Every structure is written in structure tokens, then in C-alpha cells.
Structure 1
Amino acid sequence: MTTYSAVRTTGIYCRPGCGAKPLAENVRTFELAASAEAAGYRACLRCRPYRVAGTVPDDAPELVCRAVQLIINGLLDEANEDAVGARLGISARHLRRLFADHLGVTPDGFARSRRAHFARRLLDDTDLSIAEVAFASGFGSLRQFNRAMREVFRAAPSDLRARRRRADRLVADGGLPLRMPFSPGYDWTAMLAHLRADAVPGVESVVDDTYRRTITLDGDPGMLEIGPAGQDHLLLRAHLPYWEGVIHVVERAARLVGIDQDADDRTPGAWAPLEIAVNAVADDVADLVRRHGTPVDGLGHGLTHAFPAAAVLADEPGIVGELARAVLADKIRLDWAEPRDDLLAALAAVGVPGPAANRIAWRLGVHRSKSLSSPYAIAAPSDS
């Protein structure tokens, strides 16, 4: 578990392994960077704690973990804390109380910190303009972006860009390259084996040590490439139709390859939950992709189609159609925040066999008792 150390005498918080050696009596600890920021501390310039993930405390109640997952999924992008509370069956006031008691930050503050941290990484790693960084990180306006960066990092975005180190910048060679940091114990070779075994033909590909897949953003096609890069990070190269909301793409990519999990509990996640569910129940998923997927030309590596949307699959006979129609009717919620028993019951109601339902739950991460925050974004864009 990541624990951030904040020094009362300097007002700075650090990630584990920082070379600073403050007196123990001057140190407070936080499990979330957002909590340290809410308490008035600013990020260390030496260890740059915005580059690592924090986790939800082990003793946090399930409601808090589900709320965190809903925020990561993007519920606060277009809505407010009332919407998060309503999804969980509690008031926004009670939700804020739970966050204050267990995380030390409000739901809005948690979401703002995540956006700001991702934006700081884009300022370091890429040559995107300040405006492009703002919208890629999920901010609704430049004014909102500038205010949040000053609140979290005590500096304007242009000043933060000027501070980046020479080795930070990733030189683009087609697509947008981004680091995906992971904690010790992550095994990319083992994760590739999992991804290769479950790869959807035409949609996903594992060649040598690189995973690739097609995606769609608001109906437009794109491609992701993920491979090894350093001792503490993977490299994601995103080929996207636009950069707005790229924070959402990186968050989901992190979940897909399991770097948002504890070292002892790493499993492959899901880019698109519907894709995982259909792959678990379809007799011939490759045939479904050929018949209903959106063709994507010129990618190579065996990538030919984007996975079909629920609205298209709803006309399929049998369990695939039943599943798609239930998703469209909101009878099955594949949003990573549904309690395990509720998800399994909803899948059983449309005829999904027990082993397949358990497989879906496993890939969606609801086999774990706690949802973890990841180093990345907040929301999920619409996709296939």
C-alpha cells in the first residue's frame, strides 16, 4: 500500500522512497495524495508523488470503495455529488461525511486531485499545449484547469511545464506516448499471458511483448499499444481520433492491464465490460466481431474491427442478445461498482451460467473486496 509522508514544518508531502529525511515527530501519513492536499500540503518537487497511485484504506467501508469507483468511472464529470449518492442509495451529505471520515477529502476534491495529477504528468511527458492538456485531463474550461493546478501544485500550468526535467519528455513516433507507472511486484509477462488467452480475435492482439487493441471513442476508431518500458512503468502509445478526455483512456488502460491493483491481487481487467461479458458467453465471438464490429483498416497485427456496441448485439438471438438488451435497459450494470452478489444475480436472470458469470465478475474486479484508486483518470468515454 502506498503511504504518503507529509512534513508539518515544510508543508510538503512525499511518496515512499523520497530522499528527504524529516524528523519523525514532524511527519503525518496519508494514504491518498488528495487527502494530503486537502490538509494543506503540496507535492514534493524531488520525488513527484503525482506519479504514483494511492489506494483506498483497507478499513474503508464498501460504500466508500464503490463511490471511489464511480468517480473513477466518470460520474462526477457531468454530474455532482448528489448523483453519486443517489447511485449508492445515500444522501450527498452522508457521502461527504463518509469521505471525510475515511479518506480525508470530499468526493469533489478527490476527483479534482486526480485530474490535476494526470494533467501534471501530461505537462511533464508530452508536448501537448496547455489547452490540450486541460481538456485531455477532463477539465471543462481553462479557467477551471488553472484554478485547480494552482490549488494542488501552487503554480500555474505554464510554470509547471517549465519545471519539467529533460528526461521527462517522451518523443512521439506516431500516437501519444504516456508512462504507466506500476508498483513493485508487477509481472508484465504474466499479465500478457492472461491477455493473450482471452484476446478477442480482430479486436485484441499480443505480439512479442506488446499488447494492442482497437477502441472507439464516440463512434470514432482508435488503437492502444502497451508494452514494457522501464523498471517501474509500462509505455502506452495511444492512437486516438482526438485528445480531449485522454485521461479516461489512460485510466481504463491501467485497469485493463491490472496496474491499479495490489501486488498480491493482480488480474487482467477490462477495457469494455460488455466485451468481457459477451466473450464469456458467446459460442463464437470472432464471428460476432466479423458480422457486427466496426471495420478498422490498416492497423496490422491482426486488428481488423472494433467490438460491436450493445445496441447492435441486442438483435442477436440467444444469450448474447439477452445480455445486450439487459445492459441497454440498465438491468445489468457493468460499471465496476456493482456489488458482486447483485451482479451475479442480474447475470443469472438473463441465463448467464454460473462459471461464465464468475468469469465476468473476475475480469471486472468485483471478486475483490476493495476497489483501488489508480494513478490515472476519472471517467469512461462512450465506446463499443
Structure 2
Amino acid sequence: MGSFQGVITTGIYCLPPCPGRPRSENVVTFTSAAGAEAAGFRACHRCRPYRGERRPVSASELVCRAVDLIAAGALDDGNEAELAARLAVSERHLRRMFHEQVGATPDQLARSRRAHFARRLLDDTDLSVTDIAFAAGFGSLRQCNRVMVATFRATPLELRKRRRKADRLVADGGLALRVPLIEGTNIDRRLAQLARDAVGGIEHATTTRYRRTVEMDGNPGVIEISSAATDSARLIVHVPRIEGLIHLVAQVQRLLAGHPWDPYEAAIRDIVGAADVLDEIVTTYGTPVAGLGQFGLAYLFPTPNILATADLSATGLDTAGAQAIRAYRNRLAVAN
């Protein structure tokens, strides 16, 4: 049974349960929203399936890895052949797997994700359509308009006029967004866990709110996450530029689903272990970021190159730990 239902007589696809009740003989199922859109259906205005975040049902490990790479921007500047090469399969095999399990090509899935993200920004924010286009990963405003019309049968300006009064989010500073949660995410439990494991200087957390420093294209920023509902989180973003914001939001979704914010940072945390030593490493070797005192933050996490050459003995880390950090940095250099 697919997660999405397309109604042949209306050309609309829904996310069950939806208030609309079509006859069963008029319903076709899809494993993904992208698959429904590739088949010519548009999103229902009632249940608004674009506001959720669902993986294709019964997707294989290969397809899940590809979906994660697409969410991270693999098809922003690359193509399907390059994506297939990263997964060590042929482009033909990758497209066949996507056709069987997603109902759309990798490119179609990437376009669907951008369109859905842009639609949520049109609902939730007062950003201009031009800013939304680049935040969602589109290469131009013209491309954004073309994809939105193809996906939703309306221009971005027409879609904004349809938004509901309760959708618009306002923050006292920063850009407020509603982030759909990946299925299986328990946001309250995850926020409590992040609070327990927070590292001073780069994170500041309670059981109801999590803040951390981030970096986008070399620019420092801050994110604030709190619980909005059982199926979404409230995110406030403080960044100097919003180009590629869709990928930062995908990173937030993965963080809330239980994944580390950054694999390198997670590896260093595991190697060091002791919270007081981690705090000292961040304070000594992290990149200072001014003006974040009101957030309880002050640094970006130290870069691999800095920690690989630093004298970590003064932080309280033993020789074995310092050697493990250098060895991990060397493995990263070889992999890249």
C-alpha cells in the first residue's frame, strides 16, 4: 500500500487520512509525493501533503542513501550519473531502482523536494519569491516559477495568496520556519537527549529548546529548535544569507531523527568522551563568533586541520586520544 493516494477523476493526490473520500476504484497509490507528481497529479489543498516529510515506503538501503545525498544537495550542481558513481552503481541501475521504489527519477525527486520546501516558505514566511527560490536550491527565479507551476498548477505569487492565516510564523529576530519531522522522530525525547549531551560554547540547550552555532558557505550562524507539534518542529534561523537553506533544514531534520549534526564532530566527541575536555577543546581551538552572548554561544566547532596540528595535552586529553584525532583526520584526507 502506498503512502500517497492519487484520485484519477480529479488529478489530485492526498496523504491519508484526508477529508476527501473518493471511490476506491478511482484511487491509485504511490510510494512518494514525487511519484504522484511525476504521474501528473497535484497536491491536495486540504491535507497539503507537501507539508510532511515521508520517505518512499519499503525503500532499499541504496535508495535511502541516494535520497539522503539528494537532500544534502548532490543534484544541485551534479547530475544523476555522478550520483550513481558516488553510490558505486550504474546510472541505469539507479534510475531503475528509483522508478520501482519511488515512482520518479532522482532528478524528479530533487525538483519535488525543492518545490515542497519553497511552498512551505511561501506559507510560513514573508520572504520574497526571489529569496525563496534560492533558499530552496533553485538556480534562478525563472526555474523556480516553472517548477512550481508544473508541481502545483499555480505561480508562487498565486500560491502565497492561498496560504492560511495560521501558517504565517513570526520570530523576534531570525527567520521562523516549520520543519516537518522524519517519520519515527520523537522531538521531545530528542530535545532532552540533546540537552544532556550539549557541549558548551557551540550548543546551549534545555529540554524544550536547542541552540547551536552552524556554518553555511563559510559564514557563521545560529539555529534554534523547539517543539511545534507531534509532526513538526519550530526552527528559527539566524544566518547572513539563505541560499541553500533547504539543505540546512534537511540537516536539522536528520539531527532530530537521531543523527549527529556533523560526522566529524560526532567522531571527535566519541574519541574525547569527557564533557569537560570537550568544552576545553572548543574554547581553546574553536573559531570565535562574536555577538552570540544572548544565545549562550561563542564558537564554531574546531576544524579538522586545526585539531590535527594542535597540542591537545593542555586541554586534558591524553596522548592516545590526540593520536586518534590525528589518525581520523588522516583517514578523512584520504577519503576526500
Same fold (TM over 0.5): yes
Q: How does 1:61-72 map to 2 (within 5 A)?
A: 61-72=60-71
Aligned partner of 2:263 among 245, 258, 273: 273
Q: Which residue of 2 aligns with 1:342?
A: none
Q: CA deviation at 1:153?
A: 0.7
Q: Which residue of 2 aligns with 1:224?
A: 223
Contact 1:31/1:54, CA 8 A, preserved across alignment: no
Contact 1:311/1:328, CA 8 A, preserved across alignment: no
2:70 partner amino acid: I
Q: How does 1:233-272 map to 2 (within 5 A)?
A: 233-258=232-257, 268-272=258-262
Contact 1:124/1:168, CA 8 A, preserved across alignment: yes
Contact 1:4/1:14, CA 8 A, preserved across alignment: yes
Q: Which residue of 1 aligns with 2:314?
A: none
132-141 vs 152-161, greater mean Cα deviation: 152-161
Q: Which residue of 2 aligns with 1:27?
A: 27
Q: Which residue of 2 aligns with 1:361?
A: none
Q: Which residue of 2 aligns with 1:126?
A: 125
Q: Which residue of 2 aligns with 1:319?
A: 324
Number of aligned pairs? 321
Q: CA deviation at 1:329?
A: 2.6
| Structure 2 unaligned spans of 5+ | 311-321
1:78 partner amino acid: D
2:330 partner amino acid: R
Contact 2:3/2:57, CA 8 A, preserved across alignment: no
1:87 partner amino acid: R
Q: How does 1:1-384 map to 2 (within 5 A)?
A: 3-58=3-58, 60-182=59-181, 186-258=185-257, 268-282=258-272, 284-299=277-292, 300-316=294-310, 317-330=322-335
Secondary structure at the residue paired with 2:309? coil
Structure with higher RCO (Cα < 8 A, 6+ apart): 1
Q: Distance in 2 between matches of 1:24 and 1:202?
A: 56
Q: Distance in 2 between matches of 1:164 and 1:245?
A: 23
Q: 1:2 to 1:126 in 2, by over 3 A?
A: farther
Q: Distance in 2 between matches of 1:62 and 1:166?
A: 40
Q: CA deviation at 1:29?
A: 1.3
Residues 52-109 of structure 1: per-residue CA shift (max 9 Å, x gap): 1222322x33222221221112111111001111111222122111111221100100
Contact 1:51/1:121, CA 8 A, preserved across alignment: yes
Secondary structure at the residue paired with 2:47? coil
Moved segments of 4+, more than 6 Å: none
Secondary structure at the residue paired with 1:105? coil
Q: Distance in 1 between matches of 2:53 and 2:181?
A: 8
Q: CA deviation at 1:304?
A: 1.6
Contact 2:188/2:227, CA 8 A, preserved across alignment: no
Secondary structure at the residue paired with 1:179? strand
Q: Distance in 2 between matches of 1:128 and 1:202?
A: 30
Residues 149-195 of structure 1: per-residue CA shift (max 9 Å, x gap): 11111111111111111221112310000012337875333212221
Q: Distance in 1 between matches of 2:271 and 2:34?
A: 40
Higher helix share: 2
Q: Distance in 1 between matches of 2:324 and 2:81?
A: 35
Q: 1:2 to 1:252 in 2, by over 3 A?
A: farther
Q: CA deviation at 1:231?
A: 4.6
292-301 vs 241-250, greater mean Cα deviation: 292-301
Q: 1:315 to 1:240 in 2, by over 3 A?
A: same
Q: Distance in 2 between matches of 1:34 and 1:330?
A: 32
Contact 2:66/2:83, CA 8 A, preserved across alignment: yes
1:325 partner amino acid: N
Q: Distance in 1 between matches of 2:94 and 2:47?
A: 32
Contact 2:54/2:183, CA 8 A, preserved across alignment: no
Secondary structure at the residue paired with 1:314? helix
Q: Distance in 1 between matches of 2:334 and 2:215?
A: 22
Secondary structure at the residue paired with 1:216? strand
2:220 partner amino acid: P
| RMSD of aligned alpha carbons | 1.8
Q: 1:184 to 1:53 in 2, by over 3 A?
A: closer
2:131 partner amino acid: E
Contact 2:54/2:182, CA 8 A, preserved across alignment: no
Q: CA deviation at 1:313?
A: 2.1
| Structure 1 unaligned spans of 5+ | 259-267, 332-384
Tell me the TM-score normalised to structure 2 length: 0.90
Q: CA deviation at 1:2?
A: 7.7
Q: Distance in 2 between matches of 1:113 and 1:181?
A: 15
2:13 partner amino acid: Y
Q: CA deviation at 1:198?
A: 2.1
1:7 partner amino acid: V
Q: Which residue of 2 aligns with 1:343?
A: none
Q: 1:239 to 1:189 in 2, by over 3 A?
A: same
Secondary structure at the residue paired with 1:17? coil
